[in-house]
Amino acid sequence: MFLGIDLGTSSVKALVLDEAGSVLAQGSAPLDVMQPRPLWSEQDPEQWWLATGRAVHEASSQLAGGLRGLVAIGLSGQMHGATVLDAADRPLRPAILWNDGRSQAQCTALERAVPTSRSITGNLAMPGFTAPKILWLRDHEPAHHAAIAQVLLPKDYLRLRLTGDHASDLSDASGTLWLDVRRRAWSSEMLAACGLTRDQVPALFEGPEPTGRLRAEVAQAWGCERVPVVAGAGDPTTLNDASSLANALSMMQQFEESEAVATRHLEAGALVLPQNHPSMIGLAGTLGFTYLEQKNTDAAEPLLLGAHDGFAATFGKDSPYTLRYAQALVHLYELRGDAESAARYRRVPSSP
């Protein structure tokens, strides 16, 4: 069996699956968000770890044998957050989250410092991303910035506590503004613009790759072996995986099951996330892709338009997420023979 751990903004979720993908057990533990000033949004990384233990315990307690048959652990979670650690891997301050808006001035400064930043990273500089948060620390908390030994994304702080490794996956790294998306490697230029080097960011892995094994003390506490922990993904990428499953089922002429998979994800997400959360936008888009595969353009159009506009408002019109849905809308309107509407969405990223 397999254990999935998702570090959300409002809770940590644990899910135990068998090899067929059936749910065997699940657990969750709530999290609080601190907003000490307008536009600020922070969490205590220690609370992530404590909530993880509670969620895993709740799930394992539902199994007669606990986690004794566990084979591997996968991680997913909120993207873009800045978890800054000292040389002993202790958090220097609360983590600055994806929905923190304090660093607009640093976004402008970053794009001026690196005029090619959009072509390197595939993204506009926005306060939600990790890099401007580090620049904000440089400008407003210089002692903390000077003490940074490692910057980790939220789910990767859990990985550190699980395995002792500084590691991340490429999907989560793409949301930092430090990843050279063409080379699939950290950009020294973007890091330097934030006063960092490659020694201060984690090693990168593909999502399914193991990054380490469970620490002995954690394995003992959880009642399992020292199983591998795989790189995992940021939350939008896990939603794309759900989209891939739905599309694969659709291609196998199993549209009803495909639609049900996407709809169940959308309904489940609505229980814990606001409609404008990127995860909810992606879930609606997933269902839109499912309808588009069947050439049901009437059902697909409002879902794809909503995903396109939602990602444009959140990440910018040139973000990879937005462009993905622009391409889908071009295909939809071409199926209808609506050249004018297709042309409206047929575009390439602009230069800064």
Active-site residue, selected from the candidate residues 156, 169, 235, 318: 235
Asked if 235 is an active-site residue, the reply is yes
Region of 142 (left: φ > 0; alpha: ψ -120 to 50; beta: rest) is alpha
Q: Annotated catalytic sites, by residue?
A: 235
